[in-house]
Amino acid sequence: MARYDFDLITIGAGSGGVRACRIAAGHGARVAVVEERYLGGTCVNVGCIPKKILVYASEFGAAFEEAAGFGWTVAPDHFDWGRLIANKNREIERLNGVYGELLTGSGVRIIDGRATLIDAHTVTVGEQRLSAEYLLIATGSWPVVPPIPGAEHAITSNEAFFLNGLPKSVILVGGGYIATEFAGIFHGLGVQVTQLYRGALFLRGFDHDVRAFLADEMRKRGIDLRFDTDVVAIERTGDGVRATLSNGSTLCAATIMYATGRAPNTRGMGLVEAGVKLDAEGGVVVDPYSCSSQPNIYAVGDCTNRVMLTPVAIAEGQAVAETLFNHKPTAVDYAIVPSAVFSQPSIGAVGLTEEEARTRLGEIDVYKSNFRPLRHTISGRDERAFMKLVVDRKTDRVAGCHMVGADAGEIIQGFAVALRCKATKADFDATIAVHPTAAEEFVTMRKKA
């Protein structure tokens, strides 16, 4: 008779948890996953997927305007927010079903409800009491709104995906990728947007040149960016909200949205009582193999407060399953993690920023290209693209690749492979370009900045 009900119980059916369950079951493990909200986690339901759908929707207005330069007469008549959200919801429901089929098809038992740890091997879900040799925490993260007066009047990205109507104006508070992406979404749909960030320049962690270039491009589009500015209080007004700013002024809008960070979603589930160490923000502290301070409890994804990106969570989930059930100890390599910000224009980046490279590598060479894409020489739009390579002077290896411009995320994926393969600047120079494209700039830059 088996000592435990399952070999693995995963708490959280997001990207990382689902991947771990499926791989573990494929290796013969008896697996259950507990989910209290919706299959697919943040990414599928209130993150990557619905956000990208909204980004697509917001780009059509500009495309209609640009079409005139290419001989088209296109006059946008009316944008229907309700129809967009209904179509988005339909797609998310379809994906929820796909995730369910993937799990059950792999032999994973899905348990609806909230899991609470009783000890290192046991959880309760409602009236059920279940045990497993290993527990995997994959509960993701949750938006954080600072406790200022009137904070209850603000929405977060969670609510933004389900607004009953499109506001005429919005204050976006935050300088990360979520705030910046929603600034582009709302603006592209005709909303008056003001984005506030308490620091000197948004998108901390990205290359400085990239951040400054994007700020210029967003301002050219008409987005009101205000740095070194924060909100100290919010009041409800008859037709929206009034925000009191850190400089003493006030700002009114129909809606105020906070995107000031996400915290690991780990509180109140019995982790500490089960011997699991958490960091100051509630993240599960793990070793390189995603094992917590309790030897049989693992954690992956946003709840570990490492790299909050869906593909990283997936890689971590697979690594845990390989480690535990395939006799193949696997740790995720975080050295080359590409990322994209679906701002307008978008950002793509992989490897070290110039600032990081100077600190870690010492002597470096930097190459930059700032140009007007061919499309906009005809469309008439005043938009430019920016590309940058950071090279280790000692080895000639390309240490960082950065871009601001159309399809930056699509373009940077291929260059992530190149950096992973330790490509040198000489390799880039020897690569024949695809012409005419924006991406060819990466293999034609010769002059050091």
- Catalytic annotation, residues: 435
User: In this structure, what token pair is assigned to residue 174?
Assistant: 């935050």
Q: Give 310's strand partners.
A: none
User: In this structure, what token pair is assigned to residue 139?
Assistant: 């509960």
Residue count of the chain, please give it: 449
- Closest to 378 (Cα-Cα) out of 76, 72, 61: 72
Question: H/E element holding 209?
Answer: helix 208-221
Rounded to whole angstroms, how far apart are CA atoms 277 and 398?
A: 38
Rounded to whole angstroms, how far apart are CA atoms 229 and 195?
A: 9
- Closest to 171 (Cα-Cα) out of 59, 258, 236, 244: 258
Q: Residue 167: which residues within 8 A CB-CB, separation 6 or more?
A: 186, 191, 240, 253, 254, 255
Rounded to whole angstroms, how far apart are CA atoms 407 and 263?
A: 29
- DSSP reduced 3-state for 38: coil
- Closest to 173 (Cα-Cα) out of 189, 150, 205: 150
CB 141 within 8 A of CB 42: yes
Strand 141-143 and strand 364-371: pairing? unpaired
Residue type, 12: G
Q: Residue 146: which residues within 8 A CB-CB, separation 6 or more?
A: 258, 260
Question: H/E element holding 61?
Answer: helix 48-67
Rounded to whole angstroms, how far apart are CA atoms 134 and 9?
A: 7
Rounded to whole angstroms, how far apart are CA atoms 366 and 387?
A: 11
- Closest to 46 (Cα-Cα) out of 205, 157, 144, 208: 157
